[in-house]
Every structure is written in structure tokens, then in C-alpha cells.
Amino acid sequence: MAAMPSLFVSHGAPNLILYDTPARQFLADYAESIERPTAILSVSAHFETDRPAVVADPAPDMIYDFGGFEDELYTLTYPAPGDPALAERVAALLSDADLAPAIVRKRGYDHGTWVPLMLLYPGADIPVAQLSVQPGASAAHHYRLGEALAPLRDEGVLIVGSGSFTHNLHEAFQNLRRGAVDAERPDWVSAFVDWMVPRIEAGAVDDLVAYRTKAPFAVENHPTDEHLMPLYVALGAAGARPKGHRIHESHQFGALELDAFAFD
């Protein structure tokens, strides 16, 4: 088996799964273009801890960590098995890198995990382990997490960082409330995207880990940056000379950029 790519996907709002949009269609189609993984490691922006934590449940429940959306969403389930052995392997790799991981149990799949995976692998027949982000830590820290996890790609594990390429919810919700799904993308979102994408494609790690001070309108696009941190895990997992490929580009509600990237 060839090494798996590592992915960053923008999972959008929970109801992404219900409507025919370019981002939904991309997720529904993408898995056909890569080799089937033996297991999946999901790094979700909605799993936040002070230090890296990996879930070792053999059969995770569902977490409906949102409110105000369609009732149908609260009936959806993703019964993919957990992967305690993969969780132990992840913890060992992070421990070897002095990243002080914890193993946790009784934590279900949050929507950052089940929304994209329900579209990528609707059969729910691939084991899944989950890794947290650390909202108080830097992009460089999350890049180090990815570096430590790089050997998993040669073991058939698909690393899926799940967040949002831009995530200004205040701006997006203004458009959502007036039903402007296709609102025009503001210039400050375009400027951020136009700075980030070529650096991701070039593997410009030094610039990317300093995005908070170097990228135009970084704070406007990520008032808090937990939704971008899964990208850095995927970037770090690509190895010493990471190159990203933008595999999807779209936006919703003006300010939510839903781009996705594959790294190898």
C-alpha cells in the first residue's frame, strides 16, 4: 500500500450534510479518488483539550454539539467502530515526541468528525480514532503533532483534519439569518485565502505557522483559531517537505471558506 495522503477538510455547518452544495458533493465523491484506508484518525476542531487527547472507545456514541438546526440532524448516527489499537499507537507516537498525550474514553463523534466522514465513507465500516486540538497552543505546536503522526500514513491510516479554512461566524450568521447562502465573499476573506493557498501549495512552513501575524486579515477570518489548527496537523503529517494540493474550493454565507487540501 502506498502512503496515504493527509487531508484538511472544511466541515461547514452541521447541516452541510443535508443540502446539495459543492462542498457536500466534493466530500461525497472524494474517497473514490484515493486508496481505501485501513483506519481513520480524525482531528476535529470541536474536540478541544489542554493537551493532546486521543479517544480509545471501541464504539463511540454521537455528540450533537450544536443547536438551532434541522431536527433531522439529531437523528443521524455514524456507527463506525472506534479503534483502541490505533489510539494507543497515536499516544505512543506523541509520547515519543514529548507531546504528553492523554488517552480518554466515553467521548463520542462530534460533528467535526461525523459530518465529513458520513459523506466520505457512508458505509461507516472503517475504524476511527479521534485526536483533539489545543486551542491555547500555537500553529507550530499543531504542526509538531502532525510531524509525530507522519508514520501512520505508511500504515494505511488516513489522517483527516476537520475544521474550516475561514471561520468568522459573526459575519457568516448575519448572512445565514437573511438566507444569503451565496453571499459574495468579502475582500478580507479573499485576501486571506489568496495569501494562504500558494504557501500551502509551496510547503512554506515558516510562513504558515506564523500566519497569525503574517497573513492579511488573519484575526478577522479566525477570531479564534481552533478551526484552522487541524490544517497544521495535516501539514505536519506530510513529512519533511510538505506540499499541499487544493482539492476543493467553495464558500457559503460569504465568510465561510470551505476549501480542502491533500498533503503528501
CA distance 140 to 145: 9
Closest to 129 (Cα-Cα) out of 98, 99, 103, 96: 103
At residue 94, the pLDDT reads 98
By the 8 A CB rule, do 257 and 166 touch? Answer: yes
At residue 130, the pLDDT reads 98
Model's pTM, two decimal places?
0.96
Question: Under CATH, which architecture does the 6-263 domain have?
Answer: 3-Layer(aba) Sandwich (3.40)
Sequence ranges of the domains in the chain: 6-263
Mean pLDDT, consecutive 10-residue stretches, the chain (264 aa), reads 93 92 97 98 98 98 93 97 98 98 97 98 98 98 98 98 92 66 84 98 97 97 97 96 94 87 95
Strand 251-252 and strand 256-257: the pairing is antiparallel
Q: Helix, strand, or coil here: 56?
A: coil
pLDDT 10s digits, 145-176: 999 999 999 999 999 999 999 998 877 667 66
